[in-house]
Amino acid sequence: IAQGSNGVVWFANNDGLLEFDGTHWRLYKIANGIIVRSVRAGRNGDIYVGGQGDFGFFSPDKSGRLEYHSLSDKLINRNFTDVWDIEVIDDTVFFRTDEQVFEWKNNQLTPLLADRKTLLFMGKWNNKLLLQDATYTLFTLENGMLSPVSAGDEIGGQISAALTLSPDQLLVTTIKNGIYSLSSGKIQPWNTSNDAFLRDNRIFCATLLPDNNIALGTSFNGLITLDKQRRIFHHINKKNGLGNNTVLSLFSTPRDSIVTGK
């Protein structure tokens, strides 16, 4: 889920890019009608998307209707499947597949990794790219080089979200292993009053709310918000309003409402 500076919201959807302007819904398809897995709004008005075997961006034509432009057509070797994550840092866009990250900058598309490796997560912190590989090690990208910021045994599980609490503290949620805090070069468990519940129900996504409370989307038990004392403040699932207990994506708007994708 992504939102532009004009308030329009876009959703990566099985049928394409879904747009909502507050009144109307529109569907834009990408090449061959493939599934869209990821979406991110760019600073220049472009909307970057990643799908199955393709990635690129939408930009408005003269009438304001979005047109798709494939970037993966620039690759000699298109040996990848899904594009799961997209990050925009300054004037650079990063697209993560299962084994590679592609960098789009100054109209040039470049594979970031010299050798393919299994990648589980991509995010950002303090304007630096974050990557987690199959050993569960967390890396940052600095000056074109990957530098480890945590050993795999410190986290011990796949990261599902990275939330910047402050310039000095990063919060990472994992699918099966709870929540961790990274601060001053040290990573440690970020314990809550409901750790066992969160581990059992799998944190699949997370976002920071404007009031600094935290929203967690789970695989098995809907949406949860944690207050500043790390206690469950809200719990919304199929029993009290959600259409499905599996929340695959979260986005917080400036008005403190939460948009969920399932």
**The residue count for the chain:** 262
pLDDT at 256: 52
Token code pair at residue 122: 């991509």
Q: What is the pLDDT of residues 37-48, one digit of tens each?
A: 999 999 888 999
Q: What's the rounded mean pLDDT across residues 12-35?
A: 92
SS (H, E, C) the chain: CEECCCCCEEEEECCEEEEECCCCEEEECCHHHCCEEEEEECCCCCEEEEEECCEEEEEECCCCCEEEEECHHHCCCCCCCECCEEEEECCEEEEECCCCEEEEECCEEEECCCCCCCEEEEEEECCEEEEEECCCCEEEEECCEEEEEECHHHHCCCEEEEEEEECCEEEEEECCCCEEEEECCEEEECCCCCHHHHHHHCEEEEEECCCCCEEEEECCCCEEEECCCCCEEEEECHHHCCCCCCCCEEEECCCCCEEEEC
Q: What is the pLDDT of residues 126-181, one digit of tens each?
A: 899 999 999 999 999 887 788 998 888 899 899 999 999 988 999 999 999 999 99
Percent of the chain with pLDDT over 70: 97
Query: Residue 124 CB: number of other CB atoms within 10 A?
Result: 18
Tell which residue, 122, 140, 128, has the closest CA to residue 37: 122
pLDDT at 261: 65
Token code pair at residue 134: 């199959």
Confidence of residue 25 (pLDDT cuts 50, 70, 90): very high
pLDDT at 244: 93
pLDDT at 151: 81
pLDDT at 181: 95
User: 245 and 235 in contact (C-beta within 8 Å)?
Assistant: no
User: 68 and 60 in contact (C-beta within 8 Å)?
Assistant: no
pLDDT at 257: 57
Confidence of residue 1 (pLDDT cuts 50, 70, 90): very high
CA 5 to chain centre: 18
Q: What's the rounded mean pLDDT across residues 192-219?
A: 95
Query: Residue 196 CB: number of other CB atoms within 10 A?
Result: 9
Is the pLDDT higher at 163 or at 212?
A: 163
User: 38 and 30 in contact (C-beta within 8 Å)?
Assistant: no
**Average pLDDT of every residue of the chain:** 92
Tell which residue, 56, 78, 83, 82, has the closest CA to residue 68: 56
Q: What is the pLDDT of residues 88-123, one digit of tens each?
A: 999 999 999 999 999 999 999 999 998 889 999 999
Q: What is the pLDDT of residues 69-95, one digit of tens each?
A: 999 988 877 788 899 999 999 999 999
Percent of the chain with pLDDT over 90: 73
Q: What's the rounded mean pLDDT across residues 220-249?
A: 95
Task: Judge residue 183's burial from the number of C-beta atoms within 10 Å of its C-beta, 0-12 exposed, 13-18 middle, 19 or more buried.
Answer: middle
Identify residue 98 by its one-letter amino acid code: D
